[in-house]
Amino acid sequence: MSEPGSGPQPPVTVPVLRPRLRPTLLSDLDFVIGVERDPRNLPFITPWDRTQHEAAVRIPDFRHFIVESDARTLGFAILQGCRNPHHSVELKRIVLAHHGQGVGRTCVRLLMDLAFSDLHAHRFWLDVKAHNQRALALYRSEGFVEEGRLREAVRRSVAPAAPGDSAAGWDDLVVMSVLAAEYQRRPPQRASQTAHW
C-alpha cells in the first residue's frame, strides 16, 4: 500500500486568464487605490490620490480602465492624451494585483490595439522607471523603442536598497514609444479579446 501523495499526481490545472478592459467606475476606486499602494507595486509607480483618479475617470482626454477576467478584478490601466491633437497617446499606468501570469503582456497588447485602432494614435508612448527591468523587457518585446532617459527624474516611493548611493532616493525614467507604422508592420500577435465598452 502506498502512502498518500507518493504515487502519480494528477496534473495541476492553472486557470487561463483572459483579461479584458472595461471603463473604471467611481465605485472601483477603492480597489484601484489599494492595488496602487500595494508594497509590491510602489517601487515602480508614483501613486495618485483619489481626486487624480476621479479626474482621470471623468476627463475625456483620459481612459481609465479596470482589468478583469471573468469575475476577477486583476488591476487597472490608464491612457492619457486620448484627444491629443498630435495623436500621441501615453500609456500612463498599468498596475496589477498579481504578477507573472501574462496579464501585463495582454494588457499592453489590448491598450496598444486601442490606441492605434480606436484612438488613431500616431505615437503610443510611456515612461518607466529604469530599475523596473521586468517592465522594460516586456515593452521591448512588444515593439517599444527606447527614445531616451530622464536622469534622476522622480523620487523613489520606498527607501533605496543601497544607503550612501549618490543617486539614492531618485530614479531615472526611460521614455519608450511605438509609432503607427511600426505597429502596422508587427506580426498579428495582438490580444484576441478586445476592449470594447
One-letter-per-residue 3-state SS of 124-162: EEEEEECCCHHHHHHHHHCCCEEEEEEEEEEECCCCCCC
Alpha-carbon span 82 to 56, nearest angstrom: 11
C-alpha cell at 107: 494588457
Query: What is the arithmetic mean of pLDDT over 76-84?
Result: 97
Q: Where are the domains of the chain?
A: 20-185
Cβ distance 180 to 123 under 8 Å?
yes
CA 106 and chain centroid, separation: 10
> Does 12 score more than 60 pLDDT?
no
pLDDT-derived band of residue 197, with 50, 70 and 90 as boundaries? very low
Q: Which tops the pLDDT comparison, 30 or 156?
A: 30
Query: What is the arithmetic mean of pLDDT over 1-15?
Result: 52
Range 20-185: architecture per CATH = 3-Layer(aba) Sandwich (3.40)
DSSP string, the chain: -PPTTSSPPPPPPPPPP--EEEEPPGGGHHHHHHHHT-TTTGGG--PPPHHHHHHHHH-TTEEEEEEEETTEEEEEEEEE-TT-TT-EEEEEEEEESS-SSSHHHHHHHHHHHIIIIIS--SEEEEEEETT-HHHHHHHHHTT-EEEEEEEEEEE-SS--SSTT-TTTTEEEEEEEEEEHHHHHHS-S---SS----
Alpha-carbon span 34 to 160, nearest angstrom: 22
Angle at 160 between CA 155 and CA 162, to 5 degrees: 140
Query: What is the arithmetic mean of pLDDT over 141-164?
Result: 81
Q: Is 177 buried (19+), middle (13-18) or exposed (0-12) by CB count in 10 A?
A: buried
Mean pLDDT of the chain: 87
Q: What is the pLDDT of residue 131?
A: 93
